[in-house]
Amino acid sequence: MKIVKKFLALILMFALCMTIASGCRKKDDESSYDTATGEPIEITHWYWADTQQYSAKMQDIVKEFNQTNGKNIKVTAEEYPWDGGGYSETLFTAAMGGGGPDTASWKLTSTPLFVANNLLAVLDSYINGWKDKDDIDENLYQVMRDAGGSDNIYVMPWNTQVLYVYYRPSMFKDAGVSVPKTYQEFLEACRKLTRDTNGDGKVDVYGFGMRGAKGGQEPWGSFIYARGGDFSDFTTDKAVAGMQDFINLFKNGYVPPTAPTDGFNEIIANFKSGKTAMTIHHIGSSVGMVETLGDDVDAFPFPSGESQWTSMGDTENVIFEACDNKDAAFEWVAYLATGKGQEEWCKATGNVPVSKRVQAMPEFQNNKFMKVSIEGAPSAGIFPILDTTTEWINTIWPNTVAAALAGQKTAAAAMQDLQRGLYGG
Amino acid sequence: MRDKKAGIWPYLLVAPALLVVAAVVFVPVGNAVLMSFQSYDLRRPFAIGFIGAGNYSAVFKDTLFWQSVLRTVIWVVFGVGFQFVFGFCLALLLNRDFKGRGAARSVSLIPWVTPGVLIGLMWRWIYDGSYGVLNDILMKIGIIENPVPFLARQDTVFPAVIVTIIWQGIPFFALMLLAGLQGVPAELYEAADIDGANVFGKFFHITVPSLQNTIYVTTLLRIIWVANSVDVIYNMTGGGPAYASQTLSVYVFNKANALNLGYASAMSILLTLMLLLAAVPYLKTLFKIREG
């Protein structure tokens, strides 16, 4: 009887050990396929979408790619929220933990971190042997190289978004304001458009929808450059003057009092509901704006002051080093860059295509928001891509600017903090 | 008496369970301690290495750390304190007989069973300075004239998140204290009635002493949970604006999100030590009460 008990106990212990071991086992054969057997080559792709329509469009693109690629490649697209940049952190955590996707939608600012941890595949050999290589401007490849901090390309271009100012023509007309041509006219427009429209003694329309939460550094950058400052040194008098303008808009009540915590959703909702007369975002919002406001929405590039700068929102795709089928993965990201995927995505979202063939299509040539994007492109740029940039964008910039808006820090002190946060010292 | 013949068998049989506990508890904690002595910043993976007490030294010089510590104390004292008071009131109410008591007990649990992330998002909209229902109500009843951007102002953001955590934690206290109340013998109250004790006398001399153990254990658990709570604050404010709602656990989370794991680990070890310092006297008192 004792022997039976011991035997049963041994079996139980063995089963427990096997259970633990199975949880720790690496699924090393999971994404390795032999196409000769007819098994599909599976690619997992991560992306974010700003609206439900864009989400559905991505799934349509994936479906069409799976049906038409002719190489038995099956992409599964998994959506994750952008979360003001939190997407990149989620992606990094997953990739470091060995649970990342094969390919993913991308922002250039994340490149140094992922490259430093050897997570991204080098794409030069794929791009050099690609028939559509010249359909994308060489300058864009150079931007991709610069982002990685080496001569290699880790990032495949997909689309760009140039920030510009959305405005409500009806409100401009009511307030007797013309489309600003200079930075001073823009500041003046913010003042004039802030109004009590129903005579109850309270402001109900604010001139400008300021973004003070994560992501707000992009429109903020335009103010710094308009005063002649730049991102190489935030502490110059000119850069501080730009910050002071930004603070004054809040202090004078030309932006909603919620501005310090307003993010993408809030500035768009405020603009659509008529609470703000102007706000800054890119062409990705244009479809939703037109759906809500019809003809009562238009756009102009952020006006020039002593200098001019607007943020070039970029969206790319990457292939991870851990991907077992990089050839198939490249087929997919190439389809998004110059193929039907590029055409469909840019038509649906209004983003600026990177493919010259798609740019030349009438749908893009006749779009007023696309025209403004193209008009702003010469002054478009990106933030310095350093290993501190992500923390600076997610934590340092919003908290420092909130303190400055609340009057706890002077413009100069805030700019010193921003300088330390990005460049150290 | 231990069965000498059993030999190694008992150890072998508990080994798998011990392995699991070691893997999910001791290894991560040990790893955090190790990382706290390293320059462990994933943004600079090639510079990872031991730096002694460098992280701790930097933490002690960090103004944001001390501000977060102070805010954590306020967060715990007011958060847990009001949860206890309101939870006790709710437990006393739910312990009485009234029509629909079962439904009331179920409904009162809703805040506790709602995920923290959802609570954060829900209250963010309630407090919203443009479209929030709280502003709407306060304006309709004439308390305020213009909407208050509760989460955008530094003087209102922290009280606002404290109210949220109070709302979330009331049912836990209510549930635990209700269970305790049901174990208090009715004879004690009957005897007190005969002696002519009033409501307050019965409450302070029968109810509270009978629930002493439950109160101690429940409060200790909530102190630890609330001090470590990240989800509600992070989803409502991310610790802002201008760090005005950043508790120590949120600061740790933000630093870890920024991939400075060495610095975040040092702060989390310090948070653990602070909680231990608070818990030990508390537990000692509890044991004394039990022994008494």
Domains of chain B in start order, with CATH, are 63-291 (1.10.3720.10)
Who among A117, A275, A402 is closest to B240 (CB)? A402
Please indicate if any CB of chain A lies within 8 Å of the CB of B45.
yes
- pLDDT for residue A24: 45
Q: Report the half-sphere exposure of A273 (CA within 13 A, side-chain side).
A: 14
Q: Residue B240 corresponds to which tokens in the numbers above?
A: 């802002």
Report which of A210, A237, A330, A81 is spatially closest to residue B121, judged by C-alpha positions.
A81
Q: What share of chain B is helix, strand, coil (3-state, %, to 5)?
A: 75, 0, 25
Backbone angles phi, psi at A165, to 5 degrees: -100, 120
- pLDDT for residue B2: 54
Distance from CA of A396 to the nearest CA of B (A): 9
* Per-residue pLDDT tens listing for chain A (425 residues): 566 666 665 665 565 555 555 444 444 444 444 455 678 999 999 999 988 889 999 999 999 999 999 999 999 999 999 887 789 889 998 998 899 999 999 988 888 889 988 999 999 999 999 999 999 988 788 878 877 777 899 999 999 888 999 999 999 999 999 999 999 999 999 999 999 998 888 899 999 999 999 889 999 999 999 999 999 999 999 999 999 999 999 999 999 999 999 999 999 999 999 999 999 999 888 888 999 999 999 999 999 999 999 998 789 999 999 999 999 999 999 999 999 999 999 988 878 888 989 988 888 888 899 889 878 877 888 888 888 888 899 899 999 999 999 999 999 999 999 999 999 86
- Chain B segment 57-116 residues within 8 A of A by beta carbon are none
- Sheet holding A164-167: strands in order across? A278-281, A164-167, A298-300
Instruction: Report CB contact under 8 Å: B9, A6.
Output: yes
Pick the residue from chain A with its C-alpha nearest to B235: A83
Task: Specify the DSSP element, H or E, that contains A77.
Answer: strand A73-79
Pick the residue from chain A with its C-alpha nearest to B10: A9
Report how far residue A161's alpha carbon sits from residue A380's, in angstroms, rounded to the nearest whole number: 9
Task: Specify the DSSP element, H or E, that contains B240.
Answer: none
Which residue type occupies A68? T
Report how far residue B103's alpha carbon sits from residue A170's, in angstroms, rounded to the nearest whole number: 53
- pLDDT for residue A28: 42
From chain B, pick out residues whose CB is under 8 angstroms from the CB of A274.
Answer: none
From chain A, pick out residues whose CB is under 8 angstroms from the CB of B13.
Answer: 9, 12-13
Mutate which: A110, A395, A396, A400, vs B, most B CBs within 10 A: A395
Please indicate if any CB of chain B lies within 8 Å of the CB of A421.
no
From chain A, pick out residues whose CB is under 8 angstroms from the CB of B46.
Answer: 116
Angle between helices B63-94 and B157-181 (to 10 degrees): 40
Report which of B138, B173, B172, B142 is spatially closest to residue B156, judged by C-alpha positions.
B138
* R_g (Cα) of chain A, nearest Å: 25
Mutate which: B46, B235, B257, vs A, most A CBs within 10 A: B257
From chain B, pick out residues whose CB is under 8 angstroms from the CB of A214.
Answer: 238
Q: What is the ipTM of this complex?
A: 0.81
Phi-psi region of B7 (alpha: psi -120 to 50; beta: other; left: phi over 0): left
C-alpha of A157 from chain center? 13
- pLDDT for residue A34: 46
**Rounded average pLDDT over B86-108:** 90
Torsion, Cα A152 A158 A164 A167, to 10 degrees, reads -170
Q: Report the half-sphere exposure of A302 (CA within 13 A, side-chain side).
A: 31
Please indicate if any CB of chain B lies within 8 Å of the CB of A35.
no
Instruction: Report CB contact under 8 Å: A399, B153.
Output: no
Query: Structural domains in chain A?
Result: 42-161+313-375 (3.40.190.10), 164-312+383-423 (3.40.190.10)
Q: Is A382 helix (H, G, I), strand (E, B) or coil?
A: coil
Residues B228-274 have pLDDT tens digits of: 999 999 999 999 899 999 999 999 999 998 889 999 999 999 999 99
* R_g (Cα) of chain B, nearest Å: 24
From chain B, pick out residues whose CB is under 8 angstroms from the CB of A400.
Answer: 242
Q: Is the pTM of this model over 0.95?
A: no
Instruction: Report CB contact under 8 Å: A402, B151.
Output: no
Report which of B81, B255, B246 is spatially closest to residue B161, judged by C-alpha positions.
B246
The better pLDDT of the pair B141, B46 is held by: B141
From chain B, pick out residues whose CB is under 8 angstroms from the CB of A202.
Answer: 145-146
Instruction: Report CB contact under 8 Å: B241, A395.
Output: no
Q: Residue A111 corresponds to which tokens in the numbers above?
A: 């490149």
